[in-house]
Chains A and B, each alone.
Chain A
Amino acid sequence: MSGHSSYEFKNPVARWVDSRLPILTMIRAQGMEFPTPKNLNYWWTFGGILAVMMVIQIITGIVLVMHFTPEASMAFNSTEFIMRDVNYGWLLRYMHANGASMFFLAVYIHIFRGMYYGSHKAPREILWMLGVIILLVMMATSFMGYVLPWGQMSFWAAKVITNLFSAVPFFGETIVTWLWGGFSVDNATLQRFFSLHYLLPFVLVGLVVLHIWALHVPGNNNPTGVEVKSGQDTVAFHPYYTMKDLFAIVAFLVFYAAFVFFQPNLLGEPINYVPADPLVTPPHIVPEWYFLPYYAILRAIPDKLLGVIAMFASILILLALPWLDTSKVRSGTYRPIFRQFFWLLVLDSIVLGIVGANPPEGTWIIVGRIATFWYFAHFLIILPLVGLLETPRPLPSSISDAVLSKKKSQPQAAPGE
């Protein structure tokens, strides 16, 4: 990895600025000349996609706040004012709501990519842990954002989730009253959620800067998991990955736009278009789809405190992943046993999501408990054992060897393809 550029700017203004604050040199070194493994596949484009989604959320969010009133008697009305009377307000609102879903879809793909290719292993442990913290901040941000329109689901989801903190021994009720700003979810809650919802995205920007900084120390992982050995293994980030990422980003935007313009309410709950009523409980209280697996884990455990602990543990356990996965081999490409358990985890996560969407009755309870057990078993039992017992396939000696041998096995490939 290289952090320094020897580039001399020709433009005198550029040289003047850069000699006082080397930001231009930094952009060149980190964003253009940065040596990147040449074998990255499309699963590596999701980092760029996430950065774009974060910017979209911040911009749409800031403009929405120019028209939104975060007070209990006016929040719902101001949201409708945005939808009906603000020029393109409907577009801002739908982009922001669906943008959150796209942000989570991309982040889950990004995380699973990291798990599969061992991007969490040494020396990238802190990079991975920063990622887990980013996920936690994203979850807090989107939870509070969902409360702001003050619909029925906004209110009742706030009530359910904030009530979980009453499970804390001795201090539980006090904590909840402190969080609420009163003795129930009410205006004080809404206003402080608004404040924090505006704040946390900028905390997120800082964490993302640290995340990219931590990445640029060792450089990117790659699908073989074999570290960069020489310049043969890498290409300059620009134009190879700037253009590949840009292509992937715009393709993702097509998917995003399909939701925003043609099915903007598909991922939401209709009951959130009913103004919040503390006296009327909705028949089914469900969070947004990206929280469903955690909701399933929470409800799988019959005890309130243990359920809350299990729910938080399901994310915090990711922090320990670099040490739970004992394999010396990084990439799942060369780990035939691990690979199958990885896909089982993906399936298990989807099953947890489906369980979370359904009322905790009958068969759903059993399925939810099995899926919760499997989730923790994967991290605590399977990963440590598989790493120790598995016989990995032989690794390529270098990235460029892997690329060349792939070319040899594709004799029909057009020259220079």
Chain B
Amino acid sequence: MKLIGKTLSVLAVAALLAATPAFAAEDGRREARDIDFSFEGPFGTFDRAQLQRGYQVYAEVCASCHALRFLKFRNLGEPGGPEFSAAEIKAIAASFDVRDGPNSDGEMFQRSGIPSDAFVSPYPNDQAARAAFGGALPPDLSLITKARKGWEGTLASLYTAKMFKGSGGPEYIYSLLAGYQDPPADMPAGPEGAAYNPYFEAGPWIAMPPPLSDDGVTYGDGTKASVDQMARDVAAFLAWTAEPKMEARKRLGFQVLIYLAVLTVLLYLTKKAIWARIDH
């Protein structure tokens, strides 16, 4: 009986492992490239300079089409993020026109942005954006790195890869931005005006043309603005916009885990001491 049980279990697991396909590549799509980010792991933190560069890429390249509506200008100065100075934030905010009102005449009006305002979206609503791009909608980027995955967990690895590597949202953004390439010769032509990108989740044809080109942005700190560098920087920036509390979360988590671990040990010793009184 035991042997039957063991054999059945082994057969069942083996069958399942065999049944799990490797990430299907018939239509040319690929999983994200797993690159390293400074904020990975339980002790990872954001690289301030990288976040500032990433913001610059967003502001100069992406902001013309993509909104960032959950971010306020003041978030750029808060701890755990790019930590721009108060003066820089005022200047950034002031460069936007914000719709406010109604005033005492009952009219809506435009005014310069202030730090407490939210980022202004390039289009007033989704339909306006779709109209500008032939039906395609550039998604809001505030949560994009939490809203995408770079890879599926595989049964073969018992889904443990995700435990350590995460779902790969930032890696997805990096791979997408750096992954524009010529389609293979045997690939049938895609829709009119679409670009080939095997890293696009709904791909391999994507409506967004390659947004990054070498030296498209001039970094203030002198870093070479290659496509790869800009893709990494903006992916890191977007990881921050999606999780502005990440550093605080990990810091508190470290303290909580230490506290609970010590408490666990103390409680275990207490339990042992109490139970030592009796036969059990």
Contacts and interface: CB of A to CB of B under 8 A. Distances in A.
Interface string A339-368: 010011001000100100010001110010
B279 A270 contact: no
B146 A270 contact: yes
Given A257-B253, A273-B146, A83 B163 contact: no
A263 B163 contact: yes
Contacts of A336: 1
Contact of A340 (B5, B250, B257): B5
Nearest to B140: A275
A233 to B, nearest CB: 11
B15 A266 contact: no
Contact of A39 (B4, B256, B280): B280
Contact of A261 (B12, B163, B249, B279): B249
Interface in A305-347: 336-337, 340, 343-344, 347
B270 A261 contact: no
Given A254-B260, A265-B167, A84 B162 contact: no
Nearest to B256: A257
A243 interface: yes
Given A367-B16, A367-B19, A417-B276, A273 B143 contact: yes
Contacts of A270: 146-149, 167, 169
B163 A247 contact: no
B1 A340 contact: yes
Given A246-B267, A274-B147, A38 B1 contact: no
A257 B257 contact: yes
A179 interface: no
Contacts of A416: 276-277
Contacts of A262: 42, 250, 253
Contacts of B162: 266
Contacts of B275: 240, 244
Interface in A25-49: 38-39
A77 B118 CA distance: 13
A340 B149 CA distance: 39
Nearest to B263: A250
A270 B244 CA distance: 17
A261 B264 contact: no
Interface string A249-274: 01101100110111111100011011
A80 B15 contact: no
A404 interface: yes
Contact of A258 (B244, B257, B263, B280): B257
A90 interface: yes
B249 A343 contact: no
A239 interface: yes
Nearest to A253: B260
B23 interface: no
B194 interface: no
Nearest to B270: A243
Contacts of B271: 243-244, 246-247
A4 interface: no
Interface in A18-72: 38-39
12 contacts: A38-B278, A240-B274, A247-B271, A261-B249, A261-B253, A270-B169, A273-B146, A336-B1, A343-B5, A347-B9, A347-B12, A351-B12
Interface of A: 38-39, 77, 80, 83-84, 90-91, 94, 235, 239-240, 243-244, 246-247, 250-251, 253-254, 257-258, 260-266, 270-271, 273-274, 283, 336-337, 340, 343-344, 347, 351, 354, 358, 362-364, 367, 400, 403-404, 407, 416-417
Closest 6 CB pairs of A and B: A261-B253, A273-B147, A247-B267, A363-B19, A340-B5, A273-B146
